[in-house]
Amino acid sequence: SHILSGYVRMTDTERDQIDQDAQIFMRTCADAIHQLRTEAQKGVQSSQVKEHRTAVLDFIEDYLKRVCKLYSEQRAIRVKQVIDKKRL
């Protein structure tokens, strides 16, 4: 408990701002991946290079999806806690 004694709790406004920033960031990342995928298809290169770029972009997109899922799960916990507090 002495470790947490200096801990300052975040306000709901701060949490809401973090949520908003996170959503904007995830959307920006998804758009960037889409643009990279479009550019990768336009370029003239060997099939091996195309396969490599596609695989890398698939990996990055999958990673972003996992991060988004984790974010959604954490946000759901926060919403549940807010609802539980209002019930008390």
- Domain boundary assignment for the chain: 13-87
Cα(65)–Cα(75) distance, rounded to whole angstroms?
15
Is the per-residue pLDDT at 22 higher than 90? yes
Is the per-residue pLDDT at 58 higher than 60? yes
Q: Quick one: pLDDT at residue 67?
A: 96
Q: Give which of 37, 26, 32, 39 is closest to 72, Cα–Cα.
A: 26
Q: Are 33 and 63 in contact (CB under 8 A)?
A: no
Please state the rounded mean pLDDT for residues 28-38.
96
The model carries a pTM of 0.76
Q: Quick one: pLDDT at residue 3?
A: 56
Cα(82)–Cα(74) distance, rounded to whole angstroms?
13
